[in-house]
Structure 1
Amino acid sequence: MKSVFKHSLSLTVLASSLLSLGASAAPANDPATLAQIRDSAMKSDWAYERLADLTDLVGPRLSGSAGAAAAVEQVAEAMRKLGAKVTLQPVKVPHWVRGEEKAELVDYTGRPNGVSQKVVLTALGGSGATPAAGLTAPVIVVHSFDELKAKGAQVKGSIVLFDVAFDQEMADRGLAGPAYGQGSRIRTQGPKLAAELGAAAALVRSVGGANYRIAHTGATGLVDGARIPAAAVTAEDAMLMSRLSARGPLKMHLTLTPQTLPDADSFNVIADWPGTDKADEVVIVSGHLDSWDLATGAHDDGTGVAGAMGVIDTLKKLDLHPRRTIRVIAWMNEENGTRGGRAYFEANKDKLDKHFAAIESDEGGGRPFGFIGSVTPSMVKYFAPLKAALEPIGAGVFERHDAAAGADIGPLERGGVPSFQPLVDASFYFSYHHTPADTLDKVSTLELKRHVAVMTSLSWFLANMDENIGRVAKPE
């Protein structure tokens, strides 16, 4: 630990000495400049203050809502104050609103007279509505798509419950993303399959950990013409219904009254920190601005947006200007449509050769251990100076993946743009993700500072690389 501290201190002293000679005294990606960027980010509360503004003053930011519109203006104004060139890119977004949501188990084997049991649930994005007075139907519990298909005619007119547990053990061992992927597949595809088989409604066991009887919302693949009511139930209530179903027939009264309104006008917020001799080339650093409506989206994805905004703040404080333009983007509509990312791609698909790299942070504000990138194997060695600069804060790991893009920059990566994301501890992320508990108090100020340090150092390094990073193979 002492040697790491001495290494960090020596780099900082070197940075100060070089800066006293003028900004042009050192190459852009020299160890001293990288150390200065890292240390400046680690001293600043600016990103946390912006996160507090976003979560405490604006609150939830589901696409099409007043909160989403307010967030666009708030982030744009903060970027203008830094001196960035701000553009609002128009995006048409879905406008789905949550209504009444309640359920109770009204009949089951062994039920005492006069007794019913409340079920804690929340409507899933894109859910259809029950009649205003609700509906009463039998509950069928299944644990896979194959099991549902095997039920055949029993599905028609029933409420289908997909009782598939989130694998927290995977998450605890660094595989939170794959664990979520398994669960989200059930959530997105399950209600659609149930609708195709004639179900009256679909319920999905919440995709996430921390079983404190909290429901986790999220998007579905439901489409017009087969938009049945769909909700996430808490893990505890899913397990209860499985146990009761094993005793005999089970019946529920369900009320969900969401609405799918006409598409709304919204924007991606784009803020450019102009480059010098390669200003026409772009390095994107980004997070998504929208959140689900149950809470304030502090981890998903307030930390990503605030971290990206902090890149320009850090460089402005140091009066550093990269060779390539660093473009901060706060994407709109990642949660229930990814239309912001797709709109940007469509507007820039003929200029992908000018997109040097793209970064997106969307796995929460846990401790960053470094970064992930979809560069070719031969390029890994060129990132050694960046890894060395981040090692003093415990963030010097670089994992090369064939595909590393977040949802919004996915189209860019599929178009050949090398993509990156912070490598973060997401073991607890899905405890808060898409729940009422995703609030500012869950975010560590220290980890957000580390987050900004990684995002800024990586953005700066990419924006100043001499090497041609090349294109990535298009992922399938």
Structure 2
Amino acid sequence: MKSVFKSPLSLTVLASCLLSVGAIAAPANDPATLAQIRDSAMKSDWAYERLADLTDLVGPRLSGSAGAAAAVEQVAAAMRKLGAKVTLQPVKVPHWVRGAETAELVDYNGRPAGITQKIVLTALGGSGATPAAGLTAPVLVVRSLDELKAKAAQVKGSIVLVDVPFDQELADRGHAGAAYGPGAGFRYVGPKMAAELGAAAALVRSVGGANFRIPHTGVTGLVDGARIPAAAITTEDVLLLDRLLARGPVKMHLTLTPQNLPDADSFNVIADWPGSDKADEVVIVSGHLDSWDLGTGAHDDGTGVAGAMGVIETLKKLNLHPRRTIRVIAWMNEENGTRGGKAYFDANKDKLDKHFAAIESDSGGGRPFGFIGSVTPPMVKYFAPLKDALAPIGAGQFERHDIAGAADTSPMERAGVPVFEPMVDSSAYFNYHHTPADTLDKVSPLELKRHVAVMTSLSWFLANMEQPIGRTAHQDSED
């Protein structure tokens, strides 16, 4: 050893060499360790292989389904194989089952005798059912909730279509969330308001881009007692309806036969990679395990789950254990209830002081440019070493937000736990989101490697920070 220290090797390079053979304990957030984590993740196909297992072997994973149950077992087994301490946290989840879904235009001005026109749509989560033979009613188009209220007299007995376009240009310029938000809000509130006003059924314009006559499903705010049939209709068919309605009244025959079954038993999958001297403190890294039933949930949110799983695989490969425990969570029921996130919060609300930070990935598997975090402004400077470590793979950006706003971690965030998420290019995400096209072939293996590199580096960095990160700037008492 004496001759080694006389060599021209720097201490940083020496540490890197020794780490590669597991000869010494990791010196926390030094540049060599961060570089090893980054480079190891960029060489590994493990997360993509787990994503293939999830999407190709299990398939759709809507809460309460056989697919969701199989996914719980698959992910738990993979994490146990790595040596993580795995816990299955029970969660009661909604169990909604899609049935038949067809529609056709049966009357409109200028319709040739014997002609009807098929409309492409898909039932929205929580939708009620039509009679088995369907229903026929006039179509009423509105373009805002205010217009829906103003036309209350026309709503009763009608099939109401809420027509709010998705702003793809906004998404193309890096604001996909802002493009999605308005449409998603109308999708959630519109059917409920239409039901309260006596509508026979409610339709919403699909919330997403691409416009290849593919409908985008999603959750609604419908409740028992006013659970009318509700569906998302493709952009092309909305435009057809607009043109036909300009000629005069239009009637549609609609058949939707979903079922709202009793709540089902399910689980959050929790996998701990134990810390050392601060093992009682936790850094969460997570994605949601459930998906809608139309596709196989590759982007939403298979990449988030596989990326979080890849954190432990990367650290195990390098024989690294952080100071704080890194806790991988595959949340159940983000899509139509967020019951998993709420169950975890309820079980841990008296232990939030031990939750140092939480990471949630739920924006798809696009190119990561860095990360977003809801730390207070004085903390930003402490993340410079992490930004430097991720810069070589083009992921060294850090945006500070008062509220990160991820779904399953939001109860913790409102209670003061800092929340982080990867900063990804989501300009094409809503082409596939909640559609039959959300499949493995849409995910880039290279970008998933970058995703794992960001998630692992960020998890490790947080788990080893010397500085108390503090609580988030905006706290309230909601749970």
> TM-score scaled by structure 1?
0.96
Q: Secondary structure at the match of 1:276?
A: coil
Alpha-carbon distance, 1:18 to partner: 4.5
Residue aligning to 1:3: none
Return the alpha-carbon distance in structure 2 between the equivalents of residues 288 and 255 of structure 1: 31
Distance in 2 (alpha carbons) for counterparts of 1:337 and 1:185: 15
Q: Number of paired residues? A: 467
**C-alpha displacement of 1:475:** 4.9
Aligned to 2:159: 159
Q: What residue is the counterpart of 2:295 in the other structure?
A: 295
The residue number in structure 1 matching 2:270 is 270
Residues 1:463 and 1:170: Cα distance change in structure 2 (over 3 Å): same
| 1:288-437 equivalent positions in 2, closer than 5 A | 288-437=288-437
SS in 2 for 1:247: coil
Do the aligned partners of residues 34 and 298 (structure 1) sit closer, same or farther apart at CA in structure 2, a change above 3 Å counting? Answer: same
Deviations 1:340-392 (A, max 9, x none): 00000000000000000000000000000000000000000000000000000
DSSP 3-state at the match of 1:223: coil
Change in 2 beyond 3 A, CA 1:182/1:11: farther
AA at the equivalent of 2:196? E
What letter corresponds to residue 90 of structure 1 in structure 2? P
Contact (CA 8 Å) 1:287, 1:361: kept in 2 or not? Answer: yes
Render the CA deviation track for 1:255-280: whole Å, top value 9, x for unaligned: 00000000000000000000000000
Contact 1:311 1:455 in 2 (8 A): yes
The amino acid across from 2:202 in the alignment is A
Q: Identity of paired residues, percent?
A: 85
Q: Which amino acid aligns with 2:222?
A: L
Q: How far apart in 1 are the matches of 2:14 and 2:388?
A: 15
After TM superposition, give the deviation of residue 69 of structure 1 in Å: 0.1
TM-aligned CA deviation for residue 17 of structure 1:
2.9
Inter-partner Cα distance in structure 2 for 1:179 and 1:11: 49
1:212-248 deviations in Å (ceiling 9; x for gaps): 0000000000000000000000000011111111110
Separation in 2 of the partners of 1:363 and 1:17? 36
Query: Could you tell me how far apart the structure 2 residues matched to 1:369 and 1:14 are?
Result: 30
CA separation of 1:298 and 1:11: change in aligned 2, threshold 3 A: farther
- Could you tell me how far apart the structure 1 residues matched to 2:376 and 2:148 are? 42
- Which letter does structure 1 place at the counterpart of 2:224? D
8 Å Cα contact 1:11-1:35 kept in structure 2: no
Gaps of 5+ in 2: 1-9
How far the C-alpha of 1:14 sits from its partner, in A, is: 5.6
d(CA) in 2 for partners of 1:180, 1:208: 7
- Residue in structure 2 matched with residue 219 of structure 1 by the alignment: 219
- Other-structure match for 1:4: none
Question: Counterpart amino acid of 1:168?
Answer: Q
Structure 2 residue identity aligned to 1:290: D
Q: How many angstroms does 1:147 deviate by?
A: 1.1
Contact 1:369 1:397 in 2 (8 A): yes
User: Are residues 23 and 357 of structure 1, via their aligned partners in 2, closer, same or farther at CA, if it must alter by over 3 Å?
Assistant: farther
Query: Does structure 1 residue 282 correspond to structure 2 residue 282?
Result: yes
Contact 1:202 1:231 in 2 (8 A): yes
Amino acid at match of 1:99: G
The answer as to whether partners of 1:405 and 1:420 remain within 8 angstroms in 2 is no
Distance 2:473 2:139 in 1: 46
Question: Which residue does 1:118 correspond to in 2?
Answer: 118
- Retained in 1: the 8 A contact 2:89–2:267? yes
Which range moved further: 401-410 or 457-466?
Answer: 401-410
1:51 aligns with 2:51: yes
Corresponding letter in the other structure for 1:37: I
- Per the alignment, in what secondary structure is the counterpart of residue 404 of structure 2? coil
Aligned to 2:439: 439
Cα separation, 2, equivalents of 1:100 and 1:122? 9
Mean alpha-carbon deviation: is it higher for 18-27 or for 246-255? 18-27
Superposed CA RMSD in Å reads 1.4
Whether the 8 Å CA contact 2:402–2:474 is kept in 1: the answer is no
What secondary structure does 1:434 align onto? Answer: coil
| Paired amino acid for 1:251 | K
In the aligned structure 1, how far is the partner of 2:286 from the partner of 2:24? 28
The Cα of 1:11 is off from its aligned counterpart by: 11
Deviations 1:152-197 (A, max 9, x none): 2111000001111100011000000111111100100000010011
* Aligned-partner Cα distance in 1 for 2:337–2:26: 45
Deviation at 1:24, TM superposition (A): 4.1
Are residues 1:74 and 2:74 paired? Answer: yes
Distance 1:423 1:454 in 2: 9
Taking a change above 3 Å as real, the CA distance of residues 43 and 382 of structure 1, as seen in their structure-2 partners, is same
Q: Which runs of 5+ in 1 are unaligned?
A: 1-9
Match of 2:250 in 1: 250
Q: SS state of the match for residue 378, structure 2?
A: helix
Q: Which amino acid in 2 is paired with 1:188?
A: Y
Mark the CA change 1:316 to 1:200 in structure 2 (over 3 Å): closer, same or farther: same
Q: Are residues 181 and 15 of structure 1, via their aligned partners in 2, closer, same or farther at CA, if it must alter by over 3 Å? A: farther
DSSP 3-state at the match of 2:246: helix
Q: Distance in 2 between matches of 1:344 and 1:335?
A: 16
Q: Distance in 2 between matches of 1:20 and 1:211?
A: 49
Contact 1:138 1:249 in 2 (8 A): yes
The answer (yes or no) to whether the contact 2:20–2:318 under 8 Å persists in 1 is no
The CA deviation string for residues 69-91 of structure 1, in whole angstroms up to 9 with x for no partner, is 00000000000000000000000
Once the 2 structures are TM-superposed, how far is the Cα of residue 286 of structure 1 from its aligned partner? 0.1
Report the equivalent of 1:454: 454
| 1:28 alignment partner in structure 2 | 28
1:6: which partner in 2? none
